[in-house]
Amino acid sequence: MEQYVSEFLIFVATIDPVGTLALFVGLTAGASERDRTRIALRSVGYAAAILMASIVLGQLLLGSLGIRLAAFQLAGGIIFFLFGVQMVFGTGAAAPDNDADAERDVAIFPLAVPSIASPGSILAAVVLTDNREFTIVEQAISGLLLLAVLGITLILLLQANRIHSLIGNAGSTLLVRVLGLILAALAVEMVLESIAELLLDMSAV
């Protein structure tokens, strides 16, 4: 159960439903309620397809490149830590230029990618479904946890204006900071575990 709670929190921190909510409100401020619903459904759908494809194909790609998963996990832990630090100190990517994005489909960019299906969430999807470490059942549960977080994200987007008006900018900022701190702590655990596995492999050689 602790493992699944940890995985759920990693997905929440890397997908960042709250940050996506704030971005969604800004990008769809001038859209009708019907258009906002359509954009929310499409953005989460695109992101789900990308992340599920990462689970299926990500490890095959690593294997073809000859990259050990422990090394990938170590790199992922470092990236997660840096990502968490950015969330804590509010130094993430700046909001997109509305004029430039007006001609683009915001459901694809920047909502689906890189907000929901971020590099961090794609990395998490690959690392948390390691074929060597997790059984098929455990990988299926990880996939369901990922879909659950995407479902939460969709609910937030569908209720975007109402939720944002309740918690305000200060509440959104606070939640992002807390999630960043949790992600940084989980990242340290990932780094320590991967270093221990790499040292064990070296000693065996």
Q: Which amino acid is at 193?
A: E
Residues 6+ apart with CB under 8 A from 190: 73, 74, 76, 77, 80, 127
The closest of 56, 46, 50 to 154, measured between CA atoms, is 46
Which range among 18-27, 143-152, 191-200 has the greatest average pLDDT? Answer: 143-152
What would the pLDDT profile of 77-135 be if each residue is shown by its tens digit? 888 788 788 878 876 543 444 444 433 488 998 899 888 998 778 888 988 888 777 88
User: Which domain covers residue 161, as residue numbers?
Assistant: 2-204
> For 92, which DSSP code?
S
Q: What are 130-169's pLDDT values in tens digits?
A: 877 788 999 999 999 999 999 999 999 999 878 777 877 7
Quick one: the chain helix, strand, coil %, rounded to 5? 85, 0, 15
Contact yes or no for 132/69 (Cβ under 8 A): yes
The number of distinct structural domains making up the chain is 1
What is the amino acid identity at position 142? S
Which CATH number characterizes residue 57's domain?
A: 1.20.1250
- Please tell me the pTM assigned to this model: 0.71
Residue 130 corresponds to which amino acid?
D
> DSSP states of 141-157 as a string?
HHHHHHHHHHHHHHHHH
